Amino acid sequence: MHDGGLLQLRGMDRGAVVELLARAREFARQVGRESGARPIGADSGGESNGSESGARPIGSESRSTQRIGSESRSTPMVATMFFEDSTRTRLSFEIAARRLGVEALDIGPSSSTSKGETLVDSAKTIEAMGVDALIVRAGPSGAAHLIARHVSVPVINAGDGKHEHPTQGLLDCLTLCRALGRDDFDLSGVRVAIVGDVVSSRVARSAVAGFGALGAEVVCVGPVHLAPRSLEGLGCSVSHDLDGVIGDVDAVMMLRVQRERHGGTEVRRHEGGEWGAAGSVGAYRAGFALTAERAGRMKAGAVVMHPGPMNRGVEIDSEVADGARSLVTRQVAAGVVVRMAVIERALGGASG
């Protein structure tokens, strides 16, 4: 297994997390300088979508200088193998790769796996064609680990089932540190609530690990079926009482109810009715949504996060999602620079 990949945040020590965050912040500053915009995650919330990062291309020449038929191995290549739906994460990885001068090849779900090939065989086939790293999203928890054990190039986990989504965890860490002015990436004394369908959420697992590595205290909040006590094994506490927690935390991360991961049964059990019917959404909202009224009870300076996709009017009100506390677009922007740092590390650093 190549050790330049990124499979999970759980078990990563503070030093390794901080190294990636610091590099991502450097990329964010370069983006800001090049575009004349404020750096991503700057205190006032300025974001940049500048098209050039100023990052030195990995490898000796950038794609644009190459001629057809010339020696092309100087441009590193990563393959995005997404066997589960994704728009934002795949695009974010692709943009990150391009900003580094790395070629990103998309292997969509229409690949040979639909003809019965295993994930491992697909990965080995793509590796044999000469790509330098694999970026993998797949439904089964542990899929990225499995692939990493069978290939010799680095594997970056872009979300595997209910297990982890480590680049999301890193971007959440970067966004929160910048928003709270923790420039040393020390979140000691910071309390974060992760609210909703925690049991299904790889985002939550990576966030608990990432925030924990930086010293924050995490409480997972949700109805008993979506936030069972067993989550405490991740290193967080568990609460079923959002109203008891909301006034006491520095950040609230809202999660979508991932009905596709439990066929609605967990939700139905809790709600006592069909999810989607106004009554059951209403019952969920009554206990666990970040409504404008609840957000009004948050501490001064406390912030709101959501990994997306958001279900407005279900787990979060539009006024909150678009309000002054919201870091949602900063999270998206931070995703690009975090993925630049992760891809760069996988490919052996800026000098290639």
| Residue 56 CB burial class (10 angstroms; 0-12, 13-18, ≥19) | middle
User: 155-174 mask for ligand MLT (x: CB under 6 A)?
Assistant: ----x-----x---------
Taking the complex as a whole, how short is the minimal distance between the CB of residue 260 and ligand MLT, in angstroms? 8
User: 216-255 mask for ligand MLT (x: CB under 6 A)?
Assistant: ----------------------------------------
User: 110-149 mask for ligand MLT (x: CB under 6 A)?
Assistant: ----------------------------------------
User: By CB under 6 A, is residue 256 in contact with ligand MLT?
Assistant: yes
Token pair belonging to 295: 């957000």
For the segment 183-212, give every residue that binds ligand MLT (CB under 6 A): 202-203
User: By CB under 6 A, is residue 258 in contact with ligand MLT?
Assistant: yes
Is the link from the previous residue into 309 a cis peptide, with omega within 30 of 0? yes
User: 287-326 mask for ligand MLT (x: CB under 6 A)?
Assistant: --------------------xx------------------
User: By CB under 6 A, is residue 262 in contact with ligand MLT?
Assistant: no
Taking the complex as a whole, how short is the minimal distance between the CB of residue 134 and ligand MLT, in angstroms? 18
Distance (Å, whole) CA 173 – CA 296: 24
Q: Sheet with 133-138: list strands edge to edge.
A: 103-107, 77-82, 133-138, 155-160
User: By CB under 6 A, is residue 178 in contact with ligand MLT?
Assistant: no
Pick 57 or 308: Cβ nearer ligand MLT: 308
Taking the complex as a whole, how short is the minimal distance between the CB of residue 322 and ligand MLT, in angstroms? 19
Closest CA to 240 of 219, 254, 223: 223
Pick 86 or 113: Cβ nearer ligand MLT: 86
The residue number with the shortest CB distance to ligand MLT is 256
Taking the complex as a whole, how short is the minimal distance between the CB of residue 300 and ligand MLT, in angstroms? 29
Taking the complex as a whole, how short is the minimal distance between the CB of residue 238 and ligand MLT, in angstroms? 20
Per-residue b or e along 61-83, where b marks 16 or more CB atoms closer than 10 Å to that residue's CB: ebeeeeeeeeeeebbbbbbbbbb
Pick 23 or 202: Cβ nearer ligand MLT: 202
Pick 48 or 258: Cβ nearer ligand MLT: 258
Pick 207 or 245: Cβ nearer ligand MLT: 207
Residue ranges binding ligand MLT (CB under 6 A): 159, 165, 202-203, 256, 258, 307-308
